[in-house]
Structure 1
Amino acid sequence: MVEAEDYCKQRDPKRENLYFATGYGLIQCFKGLMSFEDEDLLSGLNYVREGNIVANRHRKPSASLPTRLAGLVLGSLNTSGVGWIKNMTPVERHAELVYAESLFEKALLGIVYSGDWLAFIKEALNMRTTINIYRQLGKYIETMDAEAEARGEGPEDKSIDPHFRSGVYLGVGMSNVILSLMPSKLLTVIELFGYRGDRHTGLTYLMKSGGWSADSDTPAVSLEQEGIRRPMCDMALLLFHLVLSSITFDGVDIEMAQKILDYNVKRYPNGVFFLFGQGRMALCRGRPAEAIKYYTKAVEAQNQYRNMYHISHWEIAVANLALWDVSASLTYWRMLSDDATWSKATYTYGVAACLLQLGGDEERAEAAKLMNKVPGMRQRIAGKSIPLEKFIARKARKFQDQGGRLALPALELAYIFLAIARSPRNIIMTKMLPPIEELLTKLKQHKSNPSAYEGGRGYWDDLCLAHFLKGICLRYVAYPDADAVIDPDEKIAIAQADAQRDALSSFEAVFADGGRITLDHHLIYYAHYEYGRLLACKGDKQGAREHLELVMSGKPLEGPAGNRKGKYSLENALHVRTHAALEALDHKTRL
């Protein structure tokens, strides 16, 4: 990326060229989002604005108001839509595309930098303009291709250059995918304005850029034929299949991701993004040790942008939790806490949680100091708190209220970051379940007198947490993640039927005692979600639907004795996942 940045400076030092200006702005946008520092975000915003101004200067001038009004009556005037784009010169069409791209970057940076609702509304309107432009450009390409085919000139219009085509595919594809990932409540509002996101259409557009198909392991579009944005389309596909797959199911295709990854790794053997993709693929396959090797290579591949290390450091911290190597995970949480700026509260809590899990007087003393700092480290984006930071701030306050104690903090963090889902089954059985059983044994000793447990604070919360985590662990022993590669020589000391039965019993224990929870009310809702997923795995789709719909219903699930006020922790994240599970329930055998 340093070479690309220098090249843009050398070829267009005044940033007057359409593509050099927007290319330089894109690099600065990426750097700003990597560091999250106000100075970098503001710098990125200014350069993106410059690129946007250059693009706007090359766009086809809008028709006058009287002409647009006349165009509503006389379609032949072509004042909008496909006809308007047909009358543009090639430069004007490229400018229209670049304008949409830079407007999207500007909106993204503006929301992150300002952090208030007014800016969010303003930039949301820019997003709306971007989507409208992409939709019109997409219709233009469809129309031109259909006309070319009708003339017998092939499936694609040869007059449209591949760079423009790949840019439109990227924009139309990503806008469809992003809209399809919106929470159901927000999606209802968006649809009122005429916007819908078709995920499969979006993925098809992204695959068109490289000519990817399920029938072939290699792309149909050669290096000589590809457009300049084709690698970005491949990166977008990998991002969806390997990263966004953690919050959705429909459309996820790990085998397709493997094809795209294999092709690009050969092409860019030291490319940081694709090394990271290999690590992410290994993690999705349930091979965290292999993932750590690739993430380490990604760190070693470049030394110009230290902020890019932090992505790999985060993943290594999570992968080590999947191996239940808490000491190794602690090392990387410390690195993030010292250097990274995205979420100081999360990194600091990660350090504290690992220290508490390891135990020891010195570790507890250091953890106590860190927990005191966590609530004050929270950030706001678009005027709203970050849900994960809100959750860990609640955990930090709970630690203080309970006199410096939390139950299984690192294992709970492992669940939230999907480390348990990526963990090999022998690790779950031999390393994760023992501390849970130890806590349950301790809790059982106070069953007749809960007030005698840890000074009378947190008995029911800890009991439900222990049962919940036990259910999660046994669920992944009975039914590993759908994309996990199981070692054929792996031997598990429990039968699938027994693991399934005990997992169901553990979640049912959460339902039974959930009404007595004092603080961690989210456990009840997450237990219904995981119970529904487990039922789906065993083939009971009707039962699964009932529990998943219960989560989406908005009804309080704590029972008459519940004392929750307001929203429970990580509520929106759960709704996104539950909505995705309901969508995939009829055509996925395992959620």
Structure 2
Amino acid sequence: MAPSVQAEVDEGANHTNGFPEFNASRRRQPPPKLKKPVPHYRHLVRWNKYSIPESIEEQQLNQDLLICRQLLNLFFNANMAEAESILAKGQIPVTENQVDLHAFDGLQGTASTNLLQKTLDALGLTLEDIKDDSDDLPSETSSSAASSKDGKKSPSTTPSIAPSTHGKKNKVKKEKEVKSMYYGLGGAIIQGLRALVTFDPEEIEKGVEAFEQAAKAADKLRKGTIIGLGSVKAVGSFVVGTIGAGSFRGMNRVQKHAELIYAESTILRSLLSVLYHVDVWMVFEECINLRHAFTIIQGLKSYMDSVESELRAGKNIDHHQIDEHLVSGVTLSYSLYNIIISFMPDIIVKMLQFIGFPSDRDWGMAMLAACGDWDPMAPPETPAQHAERLASSANDGIRRQFCDMVPIIFQVIVSSFIPMNHVDLNYAQMINDYNLELYPNSPIFLFFKGRHLQVTSKFDDAVSTYKSAQAKIQPRWHNINHIFVFEELMIAMTRSDHETACENSRQLLKESRWSKCCFRYLTVITGYERGVKSERKKIDTLMGKVESGMQTVAGMNLFFETFCARKSKRYLKEGHLLLPSYDFMLLWNTFDMMPLDVLGEALAKISTEVSRLQGLLPQKMKDRENQPLAPKDQTMEAFSGGYLSSIFSNKNALIKDSKVEGYENFYDDYCLAFFLQGVVAYHLAFFPEAAFDREKCELALKSFDTVFRYAPLIKDDTYTYYFTHYYKAKIWIHQGRLDDAQARFKYLLGLSNTNLLGLPALVGGKGKNSLEIMVLFKVHSGLLEIETARAAASGYASSIMSSK
């Protein structure tokens, strides 16, 4: 069904009606109204870490948790090689009453050199002991640690996990020691991260194997007699559906941790396996494994809900022995299931909900906030409150920082690609600043800081932050630098700084294995736009290799690589590309990050190309523009009548009149130029926290209408047609025409199929939209935006009525 539109004769007459005079902020939006209460599991912690348990297994667990927590601190604070080397030494077995739980008090937030030395002392090791496993230890770290060791040290502050006999004499070879489930998971996560930053198939295979070993280590400690656990296989748990809270009441603390780690290892192994295997059936098998892991996570959540009910009823819950590590783990896993599934198309969400998966993004985000006791609407903390937060035992949970990372990632990264409601960049900055205070040298949190500056259009500060973060990365993890280099590349392309862009793209092509297809294409277009004639032959040669660099994930091509491959074919056929940098920026949504001056420069460059292409448009096609473009002609249904129906009745004549000599894909470029002009004009018109620009809004609408008019003649770049629909619907949302916008979004969802039946397919025979997945994600978020706008309007109307 075609989208409903207003019935006015001239739609342009009402283009400016209903628009606000001043644009709202997309950087600070109020939090959502939640459909159900959020649990505060951090209040359930009843684990006395200063008492020595009777069970040797629990003593071992306590020691492993304390050491892994400090190793995590080392890793976050840019001492990655040191943390990895200590972890590789393996678990130190304990015997009864040998664990000093006061050993690691006060370590969090200290200088990295002291943190390293204390961790080494706790393990009964020296810096020399780990040099064999880490060739990348910085010399300054070694000297600092050595001086710390030789300097004055009070016996009362000397960390000790076990008596001095746990030094070199008790070190055992890695292959002979009993593997700890937490050590196994920590090592697997490090290996998984290395696999992601290198994208080396061998490293990915090692990561999959490491997670399998971690799951096996945890499986040995699970209580295998419970229905749905242990002996029951993944398919069985899929049928059973969930595990009740009662199953976990009969477990001791070690067994609960074993269940959690088994589920986490299964989830991470499945996700990494999807990157490694190309078999679609393997993806189906991993989905079953994810379902099995979810039954465990959901069972743990039900158990903690029941404990929370006991606490509210005034009962003593000390015997449950819930610690901050279990709380942060359950919170992280269950929240991520809610958040990630919520981004999928409605039909998939409904299918997953039918088999028991949750999908509530706002609730998942609020659950993560509760883990860190964050409140986006709270006033700034006083110094005393801030000190209390830093000293809180809630910080000790091994997964605590990961719970903080998720909202930051979705606020400053994901929201840049997929429009999201309730974006609050100030909230993300508050969480990130707190973690930077704990880990001032952390490349991870420095990246988030730089990304926050980038999405708020502070490009100079963002580049400076990226540079400082790169300087802190150790050589063994140099691949992480490629993340910063890529962000600097996108900033350079945004600014039309072709020299820097060319340098960064060449560095990525030379060093990174993430996407040879994409990096070859970026190297070509940055060199192409720099315009050095002596490099033209190299550019042509490299462009011929773009398609051969494509890879598959889960048996499917990556959408951005498909985009690059199709553009390379166009270049090889015609010898030129139109505004390739701005075209590529659509994939990374950098238009949202551009400040006003950069948007103005972009509009000037694009408009120049628009004028040039208009000069090439055949006169007979210009004469046809006198025919009005009715609202229905903006859809594929226009083939059944109206202006575009002439493509059936007089198809040959239209094609003959539209032909441009020596320019086979002229209308691809013509529509692309007008589309880019419309997108930039749209962002200028609705720039956040600025006055609404009616003139730019009119320019955007006229540009989009031009795309609709010439869409039947597009041969390859069909994505411009679909994105044009999306941006026009966005304008309608600003205008308050929510029904029209919703109808247009649903219309786009109806086109999501492999054939994309419509005008481009009928004329050019190539109806596949290479960026279809991006359109679907944006449309899905657009529908949620409409729901939020309606809810807000309904609430406002109710308040007006109640005031009367």
Measured after TM superposition, the shift of residue 55 of structure 1 is 0.4
Partner of 1:535 in structure 2?
A: 732
Partner of 2:83 in structure 1?
A: 4
Distance in 1 separating the partners of 2:708 and 2:568: 25
> Which of 201, 209, 232 is the matching residue for 1:46?
209
Aligned 8 A contact 1:524 1:557 in 2: no
Partner of 1:120 in structure 2?
A: 283
Aligned 8 A contact 2:618 2:658 in 1: no
- 3-state SS of paired residue (1:585): helix
Q: How many residues align?
A: 567
For residues 552-571 of structure 1, give each alpha carbon's deviation from its aligned partner in whole angstroms, at most 9, with x where no partner exists. 22174537964444531110
Cα distance change of structure 1 residues 133 and 30 upon mapping to structure 2, 3 Å threshold: same
Partner of 2:703 in structure 1?
A: 506
Partner of 1:458 in structure 2?
A: 665
Following superposition of structure 1 onto structure 2, how do residues 1-400 of structure 1 map, counting pairs within 5 Å?
Answer: 1-12=80-91, 13=174, 14=177, 16-63=179-226, 80-151=243-314, 159-216=321-378, 217=380, 222-226=390-394, 227-245=397-415, 246-304=417-475, 305-400=477-572
- 3-state SS of paired residue (2:605): helix
Cα distance change of structure 1 residues 374 and 83 upon mapping to structure 2, 3 Å threshold: same
Distance in 1 separating the partners of 2:481 and 2:746: 40
Distance in 1 separating the partners of 2:556 and 2:762: 31
TM-score by length of 2: 0.67
For residues 343-393 of structure 1, give each alpha carbon's deviation from its aligned partner in whole angstroms, at most 9, with x where no partner exists. 110111111112222334334322211110011110001111111111111
Distance in 1 separating the partners of 2:523 and 2:442: 30
Please say which of residues 274-283 and 175-184 is displaced more in the overlay.
175-184
For residues 213-267 of structure 1, give each alpha carbon's deviation from its aligned partner in whole angstroms, at most 9, with x where no partner exists. 1243458855442222111111112111111112141343322212101211222
Cα distance change of structure 1 residues 149 and 195 upon mapping to structure 2, 3 Å threshold: same
Asked if residue 548 in structure 1 is aligned to residue 745 in structure 2, the reply is: yes
Distance in 2 separating the partners of 1:92 and 1:560: 58
Cα distance change of structure 1 residues 368 and 559 upon mapping to structure 2, 3 Å threshold: closer
Aligned 8 A contact 1:59 1:92 in 2: yes
Distance in 2 separating the partners of 1:48 and 1:15: 16
Distance in 1 separating the partners of 2:658 and 2:748: 31
- 3-state SS of paired residue (1:61): coil
> Which of 507, 517, 527 is the matching residue for 2:714?
517
Partner of 1:439 in structure 2?
A: 609
Measured after TM superposition, the shift of residue 511 of structure 1 is 0.7
Matching residue's letter, 1:513: Y
Cα distance change of structure 1 residues 391 and 244 upon mapping to structure 2, 3 Å threshold: same
Aligned 8 A contact 1:173 1:206 in 2: yes
Cα distance change of structure 1 residues 267 and 157 upon mapping to structure 2, 3 Å threshold: farther
Cα distance change of structure 1 residues 562 and 538 upon mapping to structure 2, 3 Å threshold: farther
- 3-state SS of paired residue (2:245): helix
- 3-state SS of paired residue (2:759): coil
> Which of 584, 598, 604 is the matching residue for 1:413?
584
Cα distance change of structure 1 residues 435 and 206 upon mapping to structure 2, 3 Å threshold: same
Structure 2 runs not aligned, ≥5 long: 1-79, 92-173, 233-241, 620-656, 793-804
Distance in 1 separating the partners of 2:319 and 2:500: 55
Distance in 1 separating the partners of 2:178 and 2:368: 29
Cα distance change of structure 1 residues 289 and 531 upon mapping to structure 2, 3 Å threshold: farther
> Which of 580, 583, 588 is the matching residue for 2:784?
583
For residues 175-219 of structure 1, give each alpha carbon's deviation from its aligned partner in whole angstroms, at most 9, with x where no partner exists. 111111123343233233222311122112211221111243458
Measured after TM superposition, the shift of residue 438 of structure 1 is 2.2
Distance in 2 separating the partners of 1:296 and 1:141: 43
Measured after TM superposition, the shift of residue 308 of structure 1 is 0.5
- 3-state SS of paired residue (1:170): helix
Matching residue's letter, 2:618: S
Distance in 2 separating the partners of 1:415 and 1:332: 19
Distance in 1 separating the partners of 2:758 and 2:787: 25
Distance in 2 separating the partners of 1:474 and 1:80: 53
Distance in 1 separating the partners of 2:764 and 2:615: 26
Measured after TM superposition, the shift of residue 574 of structure 1 is 0.8
Aligned 8 A contact 1:472 1:530 in 2: yes
Matching residue's letter, 1:447: L
Partner of 1:72 in structure 2?
A: none
Distance in 1 separating the partners of 2:332 and 2:554: 26
Distance in 1 separating the partners of 2:319 and 2:508: 49
Please say which of residues 323-332 and 229-238 is displaced more in the overlay.
323-332
Distance in 1 separating the partners of 2:736 and 2:498: 35
- 3-state SS of paired residue (1:405): coil
Identity of aligned residues (%): 27
Please say which of residues 193-202 and 458-467 is displaced more in the overlay.
193-202
Distance in 1 separating the partners of 2:243 and 2:474: 48
Aligned 8 A contact 2:618 2:659 in 1: no
Cα distance change of structure 1 residues 454 and 354 upon mapping to structure 2, 3 Å threshold: farther
Distance in 2 separating the partners of 1:354 and 1:64: 59
Distance in 2 separating the partners of 1:64 and 1:161: 25
Distance in 2 separating the partners of 1:397 and 1:324: 24
Aligned 8 A contact 2:243 2:295 in 1: no
Aligned 8 A contact 2:714 2:760 in 1: no
Matching residue's letter, 1:367: I
- 3-state SS of paired residue (1:252): coil
Cα distance change of structure 1 residues 415 and 151 upon mapping to structure 2, 3 Å threshold: same
Partner of 1:75 in structure 2?
A: none
Aligned 8 A contact 2:278 2:553 in 1: yes
Cα distance change of structure 1 residues 15 and 117 upon mapping to structure 2, 3 Å threshold: farther
Please say which of residues 157-166 and 470-479 is displaced more in the overlay.
157-166
Matching residue's letter, 2:468: K
Aligned 8 A contact 2:758 2:767 in 1: no
Distance in 1 separating the partners of 2:765 and 2:451: 37
Structure 1 runs not aligned, ≥5 long: 70-78, 487-491
Matching residue's letter, 1:572: I
Aligned 8 A contact 1:104 1:130 in 2: yes
Aligned 8 A contact 2:345 2:777 in 1: yes
Larger radius of gyration: 2
Partner of 2:599 in structure 1?
A: 428
Partner of 1:573 in structure 2?
A: 774
For residues 96-145 of structure 1, give each alpha carbon's deviation from its aligned partner in whole angstroms, at most 9, with x where no partner exists. 00111111111122111122212212212111112221111111111101
Distance in 1 separating the partners of 2:261 and 2:537: 54
